[in-house]
Structure 1
C-alpha cells in the first residue's frame, strides 16, 4: 500500500525581517574541514588547503583556476545534509526543482531546460544518468543516493565539456566517498524528528571499515534506512500525511593494494525508495492536495564500479568501469483530464464522429457512463535504465612545466519506459494492482557515445599558466515505440513498432589563463564549451523530418579570483561570467498546433556574478557566506520553420531567480575538559521566479521568494568523537515553493515545497 513518504520543508511567506538581511548575502562555502580520509585542514589557520580532483589530477582548492565549491564530510554532517536538495543551498547558482526522491531537476548558472541533463552528476568517477521517461526528459529525473560517509562534494560551476563531456554544460557535481583503509573504524548516526502538521520521521546510518588482509585488502560497508511520515493532506480522499517516504540502502567497498603504486577499488551501491508524491495544490490550501489518486513513486537503484589506478612515476593511468541499473515507477493523476471529456460536444465527436451532430439522450447516458467508468485513473510510468560506461585516462603527476590529461570514454545507455492509463480505487485512491490498463504505449531509448579528450597546462612562469583542452565526441541515438492497447477517446489508436535514429559528432574546446600573483592570490580567465546530446522524439505520428533534434551548445566566458586574506583567516572567491547558449533544445508545437515535441530553436544569454567567503574571526567561530546574481534571458524567439515554442527574446528562463544565497555561522567551544558546545545556524534565500517564459501566458505561475532558517545546537565529546544535537529546520515555518506549474486541466495548479517546521534530535559517534 502506498501511503505517504518524503520529508521536506515549507512555508509562511518571508515575514522575517530579522533573517532577511542575513540571506540577502546568502551563504555557503568552499568547505574546509577534516574528513576520515584524507584529512584536510582549513587554510584559515595556515594549514594545507583541501585537495580536489576536479581537473582529473590532484590540485588544491585555492590554486585551481576554476569556480569550485568543495564541501567536506564534516561540513555536510554539521549542517545535517542528507541529499542534493540539502547541500544545494551552500553552492552559488545551484538550483533544484524538487519533485521528490529521484525526480529532481538540477541546474547550474541558469542553464535549465527539458531534455538530457544540463549538469553531470558523479559518484566518485562514475556518472549517473536520469531516466528519459516518455518525454525524453532525463534532466527531470536525476538519480540521487543518500549521503552518508562522504569525504567531500565538489561542485564545478560552468561547462566542463572537455574533461566531463555531454550533459555537463552547466557544470558537474562530484560526490567523493570515503574509501576503505587499513584501520578498524566505525560510525553510527541516528535521528528522530517531527514536522508541523505532519508526522514523525527517523533515520539510522552505520559504517564499518575492516582491514581484511594487512596492507593488501580492506573493506568498508555502509547501511542506512530513512523513514518519514508526510505533511501533505489529501482533501479529496480525506487522507492525512499522504507523502510518506522510505529509503533503504547501502554500499560495499573493497580496496585492493597489491603494490604501493597500484590500487583497485570496487564499489557496489544500492538504494530502494518507496514514496508518494509531495505535490500539493495551492488553490486548495497550503500542503493540501486535490488529487483523486495516491501518486506512488518507487525506485530501485544499483550502481557498480571498478576503478584501477596505477602510478607509473610521472603519470597515473586510471580506468573506471561502471554499470547503473535503475528500475522506477511514478504516476500522475489523469482523472481530471478524463473529466474534461464529459461534455455533450465530446460525446457528439466521439459517438457520432461530428461535433455538430448532438448525441441522443440514450447516447449521452451511455457515453457519460463510459467516461465515469474510467475514473479515477492514473498515468502510470514503470521503466528501467541500464547504463554502462568505461573511461581510461592518463594524467601527469608531480611538478613539471607541463601538466596534462588524455583519455577516452564510452557509454551504452538503454532506457525502457511504459506509459499506461490504469484504474484506481475510488475510496482509497490507490492504483489497483495488478494494474487494470485501458491504454498502453511502450518506448525504448538507446544512446551510444564515444569520446576522446585531452587537456594540457603549460606553466610559462611559476606564476603564469596557460591551459587548452579539446574533446571529440560521436554519439548515436535510437528511439523505438509502439501502442499495443489503443484509446480512441483521446485519438491514440493501436500503432505498430516504429524506429528512428539520429547521430552527431563534433568537438568541444576550453581555454584558460591563470596568474598566481602570490601564495594567497589567484586570478583566472576561462572560455569553455558545453553541450547536450540531441536525439529523436517519441511522438508517434510525427513526420520523419521533425523526429530528430540536434545537440545544443554553449560558450562560457568567465573571469574570477581566489583570495586568502587576513592571514588566511578569510577566504574570498569571486567569479563573473557570460554564457551564450545557441540552438537550444526546446519543447514546442508544430506550426499547425497538431504535435508537441522537442526541437531546436532560439538562443539565450546568461550573465552572472558569484561570491563565496569563509571567515574564521576567532578560535572556534566560522562564518560562511555565498550568493549569486543571474540574468538569464532569451536573445532569440523560440520559433523556426517547424516549431513554435513559448519563449520570445527578452523572456526570463523559467525557474531561475535573479538572486539567491545563504549565510552560515558555526561555533564550537569547550565547556569542560572533555565536552565541547556546538552551535550552527544557516539561512538560505531564494528569489522569485516563474514557471513559463511569457508574461502573457495565462498558465504562468510565479514562485515567490522565500527564506529558510535552520539551527542546530549540541554537545560533543572530542575524545570519543561523539555528539548529541537538537535541531530546528525552517524555524519560521516559511512556505518555500521551489516548483509550480499549471495547465488547462482542472486542479492542475500544483507545487512542491520545502517541509514545514521540523524539530528533532540527532546522535552520532565515530570510533
Structure 2
C-alpha cells in the first residue's frame, strides 16, 4: 500500500502501501458561464454579472449560497493552461496538495489532514462521487485528477459537506462541472501545444471537442485529449551503488503521458423531461516518481541536480472510467432527479524496495546466495468499482420556502493485491529460492455499502433574511477479507474476514442576511464525517490494536461576508473554527498498515478573495488564507503525533495574485497578457510512525519518536501572453519563471535514519516543484 510522505518500512494492506520512495469564495464572472442545473436541463441565464452554480444541488446565484465557495471557470483554466490539481491550486484559498507523481495526490482543504488513508475532500464529476469512501482502497491519495479541457468550471465548497454530499467530505468538495451538449448549433474546437522543461525534456499535447445537434430534441458533445508529459529527473547511474551494483541511469526518467475522452448525449423530448448520458475515460501514466534526492536539512538537491537513485524501474499507471445517467422530470410543484453512476479506478505500480529492505536482507540472509546481491521490489494492483444511485425531489425556487428531500445508495468493491519479491541485482535473474523469490504476498478484498436519506430546506423569513438547514442519516456496512504470507517473516500469516457497521448523523444550519442587493453576511454550523471500518492486521494482534476503527467527525463554525461589487468585481471573506474528533490516523503493526482513532484536532482560519476590474480590459484577482491547524491531544503512540503538532501539509499562510489585461489590436485581433504570483508558506510533513524499540516488564511497548520535519515556504511566478485572430488563438506561457524548488512531498526512509542509507550524500527524497516550463499553444474554433 502506498502512503505519501512515508516510506519508513514496508507496510502491507491495512490501507496503503508504504513501500514508495517516498499539498473564499469568489466567482470569476468573466470566466464562469452559467451552469446547467445538476441535471441536464439548460443553464439559467445569469442575472447581470451574477454567477449561477449548483453547490447546494440546485441552481443559485453565488451570493445566495450561505457558505464559502470558489468557482474557477473553464475560460480561466484554459487561459492559464491549468490541467491538473497542481496547476489551479493557487486559485482556491485554503487548498493544498501533497503529491509526488501524476495522479497520486492528497487534497487538503482548511487544514483537515492527519496523513491518514481515507479522503477528507470528496471529488465529484457532475452528479458522480468518485473515489473510495473507505480507508481500505487508498482514497486519500487517489483523488480523481480529471483533465480540465472543455470543463465548464470547477466548484470548490469549503467546510464539511456531509448533509448534501455525504461521506469523506470533512474538509469540503471539489466538483468538476462538465459542459452539457447544446442544441443551438454545431461547433468544434481544437488545441495543440509544446512544452519545454528547464533541464528536462519536451512535452506536447493535443485536445479537441465537437458539439452537434441531433434533430430538435437531442444533442451530443464529445472531447478528447492527449498529453506527453516531459520528464526532468535523471537517474544517478554509477554515482550511487548498492553492494557494488550501480543504480539505473537515464535522462528524464519521470516522463509520462495522459490521455482520455468524454462523451455526453442530451435528450429533451418535452419541456418537462431531460435525459443526459455521459461517459468518461482517462489514463495517467508515469515512468517514475518525481522525487529528487535532497539533503536532510534544507532539502536542496544533492550536487545541485534533480536526480534519483533506483535499482528497479518503478512506473505508475492509473485508469479512470465513469458512466452516469441523469434523468430529470419537472412535475411543476417539484422536480425529480435520478442519477445513476458506475465508476472504476485502477492503479498499477512497481516500487524499488532496495533503499528500504536491501541492506537488511543482504546482511541477514545474504549468506544463502554467496556472490549475489539481493534486490527487493514490490508490485501492487489497486482496484475500485463503485455504483451509486441518488434520487432527489426539489421544490421550485421560491421567495418564501424551498425544500429538497433525497435518498442515496452506494456499493463499492475494492482490492489491494501486493507482491514483494527479489532478484539478483547482478544478473536480474530470480534466485530459485522461495524464501527470496517470494518475500511476501498480501491481498485484501473489501466491500462497502451505504444507504442514506437527507433533506434540505430554506425559509425566506423576510426579503432580506433566510435560514437554510439540512440533515442526513447514513448507515454503512463493511467487510474485508485479508490474506498475507511471508516465509521470511516480513509479515505474519493471516487469512480472515473482519466486518464493521455504523450509523452517522450530520447536519448543517446557515442563517443569511442581505444587507442590500449586492452584499450579504452569513453564519454556518455544519458537521461532516468519514466512515470507520474494519482493520486488517496480521495475527497475533498486539494489545491495544483495535479490530475496527470508528468514523471521525468534524464540526465547523463559520461566518462570512460576500459582496458583489458590480461590473464583474467582488469581495468575499470568511472566518472559521473546526473541531475534529476521533481523528483517523495511520500506523504500522507487525508489518501491516492499520487505521486507528486518535484524539482531537482543531483548525482556525481566515480566507478572502478580491476580484477587481480597475480599467477596461484588466482583471485583478487576489486570494489568500491563514490557517492554524494542529492537534489538541496526543495521538496513540504508534501514530507519532503530540498535542500542539501542526497538521501535515497545511501552509500557515498562502496567497496568490492574478492579473490579466487584453486589448483590441484591430477589428478581428485581440491581444492579452497576464501573470500569477503564488506564495506557499511554511509547512510540516506527516506525523512520523513511531518505532517500537523495546518492551516494558508489564508488556507495554517502548517507543522512539521522530519529530515532524519543517518545510520552508516558497513562491512561484507564471506569465502568459497571446493573440486572438478570428477563430485562432496563439499563446506563449512560462510556469515557475524563477525555477523555485518548493517541497510538495517528503519521503523518509527508515534505513536512512538508522545509518544504513544507500542514497548518495546521506540524502532523503522529496518531490519538488516542476522546474521552469515554457509552453506554446495554438487553438482553433469552428
In the superposition, the TM-score normalised over structure 2's length comes to 0.85
1:597 CA drift (Å)? 2.2
Match for residue 771 of structure 2 among 734, 738, 756:
756
> Structure 2: any 5+ residue segments left out of the alignment?
1-23, 38-45, 237-246, 296-301, 691-703, 752-756
1:578 CA drift (Å)? 0.2
Distance 1:709 1:601, change over 3 A: same
Q: Residues of 2 paired with 1:90 and 1:425: CA distance?
A: 49
Q: Residues of 1 paired with 2:194 and 2:163: CA distance?
A: 44
CA deviations 1:184-223 (Å, max 9, x no partner) are 01111111011011100011001011112x2211111111
CA deviations 1:644-683 (Å, max 9, x no partner) are 4211111111111100111100000001121111111011
CA RMSD of aligned residues (A): 2.7
- 1:297 aligned partner: 316
- 2:506 aligned partner: 508
Task: Provide the secondary structure at the position in 1 that maps to 2:291.
Answer: coil
Q: Residues of 2 paired with 1:64 and 1:689: CA distance?
A: 31
Distance 1:542 1:625, change over 3 A: farther
Instruction: Output aligned runs, 1:21-36, within 5 Å.
Output: 29-34=26-31
Q: Residues of 2 paired with 1:117 and 1:334: CA distance?
A: 26
Distance 1:130 1:242, change over 3 A: farther
**8 Å Cα contact 1:685/1:705 also seen in 2:** yes
**8 Å Cα contact 1:237/1:427 also seen in 2:** no
**8 Å Cα contact 2:273/2:330 also seen in 1:** yes
**8 Å Cα contact 1:442/1:481 also seen in 2:** yes
**8 Å Cα contact 1:536/1:547 also seen in 2:** yes
Match for residue 619 of structure 1 among 592, 604, 616:
616
Is residue 717 of structure 2 the alignment partner of residue 714 of structure 1?
no
CA deviations 1:145-177 (Å, max 9, x no partner) are 211101111100101110001011100011100
- 2:746 aligned partner: 740
Distance 1:430 1:185, change over 3 A: farther
CA deviations 1:454-512 (Å, max 9, x no partner) are 011111101001121110000011111113xx4332443554x3100011002101111
When structure 1 is superposed on structure 2, of 644-653 and 381-390 the one drifting more is 644-653
**8 Å Cα contact 1:237/1:429 also seen in 2:** no
Match for residue 534 of structure 1 among 532, 535, 540:
532
**8 Å Cα contact 1:33/1:73 also seen in 2:** no
- 2:650 aligned partner: 656
- 2:605 aligned partner: 608
Task: Provide the secondary structure at the position in 1 that maps to 2:515.
Answer: strand
CA deviations 1:711-760 (Å, max 9, x no partner) are 0101012x43x210111111001112111121322348221122100111
Instruction: Output aligned runs, 1:545-624, within 5 Å.
Output: 546-565=546-565, 567-568=566-567, 570-588=569-587, 597-624=594-621
Q: Residues of 2 paired with 1:308 and 1:301: CA distance?
A: 23
**8 Å Cα contact 2:345/2:383 also seen in 1:** yes
Match for residue 251 of structure 1 among 257, 262, 266:
262
1:105 CA drift (Å)? 0.5
Q: Residues of 2 paired with 1:187 and 1:468: CA distance?
A: 43
When structure 1 is superposed on structure 2, of 514-523 and 266-275 the one drifting more is 266-275
1:702 CA drift (Å)? 2.4
Task: Provide the secondary structure at the position in 2 that maps to 1:122.
Answer: strand
Q: Residues of 2 paired with 1:427 and 1:572: CA distance?
A: 63
- 1:18 aligned partner: none
- 1:410 aligned partner: 409
- 2:179 aligned partner: 178
**8 Å Cα contact 1:675/1:716 also seen in 2:** yes
When structure 1 is superposed on structure 2, of 552-561 and 244-253 the one drifting more is 244-253
Q: Residues of 2 paired with 1:207 and 1:259: CA distance?
A: 27
Match for residue 663 of structure 2 among 659, 669, 676:
669
- 1:153 aligned partner: 154
Q: Residues of 2 paired with 1:594 and 1:193: CA distance?
A: 43
When structure 1 is superposed on structure 2, of 533-542 and 50-59 the one drifting more is 533-542
In the superposition, the TM-score normalised over structure 1's length comes to 0.87
Instruction: Output aligned runs, 1:71-86, within 5 Å.
Output: 71-86=72-87
- 1:478 aligned partner: 479
Is residue 356 of structure 2 the alignment partner of residue 337 of structure 1?
yes
When structure 1 is superposed on structure 2, of 276-285 and 238-247 the one drifting more is 276-285
Is residue 520 of structure 2 the alignment partner of residue 522 of structure 1?
yes
Distance 1:365 1:431, change over 3 A: closer
Is residue 364 of structure 2 the alignment partner of residue 366 of structure 1?
no
Q: Residues of 2 paired with 1:488 and 1:106: CA distance?
A: 38
1:229 CA drift (Å)? 2.5
Match for residue 727 of structure 1 among 733, 751, 756:
733
Task: Provide the secondary structure at the position in 2 that maps to 1:618.
Answer: coil
Is residue 629 of structure 2 the alignment partner of residue 632 of structure 1?
yes
**8 Å Cα contact 1:330/1:382 also seen in 2:** yes
Distance 1:337 1:699, change over 3 A: farther
**8 Å Cα contact 2:383/2:416 also seen in 1:** yes
When structure 1 is superposed on structure 2, of 291-300 and 748-757 the one drifting more is 748-757
Match for residue 690 of structure 1 among 673, 684, 694:
684
**8 Å Cα contact 1:136/1:537 also seen in 2:** no
Q: Residues of 2 paired with 1:704 and 1:743: CA distance?
A: 20
- 2:253 aligned partner: 242
Q: Residues of 1 paired with 2:597 and 2:132: CA distance?
A: 21
Task: Provide the secondary structure at the position in 1 that maps to 2:505.
Answer: strand
1:549 CA drift (Å)? 0.2
Match for residue 294 of structure 2 among 282, 286, 309:
282
Q: Residues of 2 paired with 1:46 and 1:268: CA distance?
A: 32
> Structure 1: any 5+ residue segments left out of the alignment?
1-26, 348-363
1:685 CA drift (Å)? 0.7
Q: Residues of 2 paired with 1:428 and 1:513: CA distance?
A: 70
Task: Provide the secondary structure at the position in 1 that maps to 2:650.
Answer: coil
Q: Residues of 2 paired with 1:270 and 1:596: CA distance?
A: 31
- 2:211 aligned partner: 209
When structure 1 is superposed on structure 2, of 160-169 and 83-92 the one drifting more is 83-92
Distance 1:312 1:28, change over 3 A: closer
Q: Residues of 1 paired with 2:613 and 2:540: CA distance?
A: 60
Q: Residues of 1 paired with 2:742 and 2:669: CA distance?
A: 37
Q: Residues of 2 paired with 1:190 and 1:306: CA distance?
A: 31
- 2:456 aligned partner: 455
- 1:15 aligned partner: none
Task: Provide the secondary structure at the position in 2 that maps to 1:139.
Answer: coil
Q: Residues of 2 paired with 1:427 and 1:241: CA distance?
A: 24
